[in-house]
Chains A and B, each alone.
Chain A
Amino acid sequence: MNDKARQNIHEYLAEFEDIPGTRVYTAARARKGYWINQFAMSLMKPENRERFKADERAYLDEWKISEEAKEALLARDYNRLLDLGGNVYFLSKLFSSDGLPFAEAVSTMTDMTWPEYRQMMLDGGRSPQGNRSIKGGY
């Protein structure tokens, strides 16, 4: 593989910030959101779900999570949680604890209501046109 042109890591990572409405789960985000994601993962155990539901704030206080992230978790503000390093596969443990279907939870991150989002998917989904690059606008 020595003949392969080596990817410049800084260029590689910089391109990720050029995608509209998207938070690529980079190592930097994974580091930042580590305890958010580990908290979410803990909800896979029924006894933890029970304790969380009984007193969400008290359960969150057991984790090394910033106040800002705790507030975002309590508010189910998923876009903010993505900014704070949450990852959707981990956050989905919170969706299911809330009894929320995956797609409905995903729709809360868009500017659409759940029925509008559902209809967009039935109509063929969101077009990539104009959604590929912030700088390029294509």
Chain B
Amino acid sequence: MARITAGVGSSHVPLLGVAVDQGKWQDDYFGPIFKGYEWTREWEAREKPDVVILVYNDHASAFDANIIPTFAIGCGEHYKSADEGWGPRPVPDVEGHADLAWHIAQSLILDDFDMTIINEMDVDHGLTVPLSMMFGQPEKWPCKVVPLAVNVVTYPVPSGNRCWALGEAIARAVESFPEDLNVQIWGTGGMSHQLQGPRAGLLNREWDNRFLDMLEADNDDVRHIPHIEYLRETGSEGIEMVMWLIMRGALGRKVKRLNRHYHIPCSNTAIGHIVLAPE
């Protein structure tokens, strides 16, 4: 039987991918960020997940303004790194787990989540940067990936409550997959950042850390934070943090925190990550 053994929440700032690809991760600017991920990289190397369900958002790479799926699941065999205007990142292709992905897609639809199914797409920094942060620069990614893309760009984006419930449904779907698989779920994006308008550059260390505290708590209060609070407190792009709630919802009521790190700044963004295990 497949089981979800851990959840990771992590920023996916594109500049971190640049730092990895250009070998700058030990310099004064990036050093403290990558040091914060050191424990997690070693832990992932020990854990060896078979599959990661990777919750992320597409940044106008695979999807244009035409089709805007709220929740989309990648059911393909493999995905290439997207060209985001600077050429594709020099990272390995991402291998899908089509059997598990189709199983999850079908289970979710029967569980009242009307998923969009994607067979072919390129994946952008939202998906490849977390892989680089957790696994470094291997010739081949050490696990298969089920991409789960969430619309967090065009409003209304899904509520935190709905994201949490989707996580719960994903956990049920994984548990009913007959193959014995070690599955992790990652929620990515955030933390506080605003990339547009005169208020650009807003960061909120206090709020971000309160959010991390809430993820560790033995309750589900965090699912009820309204969109307007993310927007006011964490900047217009801080809303990406609702994707962390899909991860958290999949872990059940009680969790144990294995690692947590927070750093300001990386480019326009506050960097954070947390590693949680279901209890």
Contact = CB atoms under 8 A, between A and B. Distances in A.
Interface in B206-227: 207, 227
Contacts of B15: 102-103
A37 B201 CA distance: 23
A97 B84 CA distance: 10
Contact of A122 (B85, B194, B265): B265
B255 interface: no
B202 A128 contact: yes
A113 interface: no
Interface in B174-230: 192, 194-205, 207, 227-228
B256 interface: no
Interface stretch (B38-46, B73-81, B132-140, B151-159): B151-159
Given A24-B155, A92-B85, A103-B268, A79 B60 contact: no
Interface in B251-274: 264-265, 267-268, 270
A43 B203 CA distance: 30
Interface stretch (B92-100, B101-109, B141-149, B231-239): B231-239
Contacts of B84: 44, 92, 96
A72 interface: no
In this complex, the interface size class of chain A, counting residues with CB under 8 Å from chain B, is 35 or more
A74 B207 CA distance: 38
Contact of A124 (B83, B155, B265): B265
Contacts of B59: 89, 92
Contacts of B268: 102-103, 106, 121
Contacts of A125: 192, 201-203, 264-265, 270
Contacts of A78: 196
A123 to B, nearest CB: 9
B232 A132 contact: yes
Nearest to A87: B153
A125 B267 CA distance: 10
Contacts of B204: 128
Interface in A6-30: 12-13, 15-16, 19-27, 30
Contacts of A122: 265
A55 B269 CA distance: 35
B197 A109 contact: yes
A124 B232 contact: no
Interface of A: 1, 4, 12-13, 15-16, 19-27, 30, 34, 37-38, 40-41, 43-44, 78-79, 82, 87-90, 92-93, 95-97, 102-103, 106-107, 109-111, 117, 120-122, 124-128, 131-133
Given A82-B196, A90-B60, A121-B203, 4 more contacts: A27-B156, A78-B196, A87-B65, A120-B201
Interface of B: 14-15, 59-61, 64-66, 68, 83-86, 153-156, 161, 165, 192, 194-205, 207, 227-228, 231-233, 236, 264-265, 267-268, 270
- Which 3 residue pairs spanning A and B have beta carbons closest together? A125-B203, A96-B85, A21-B199
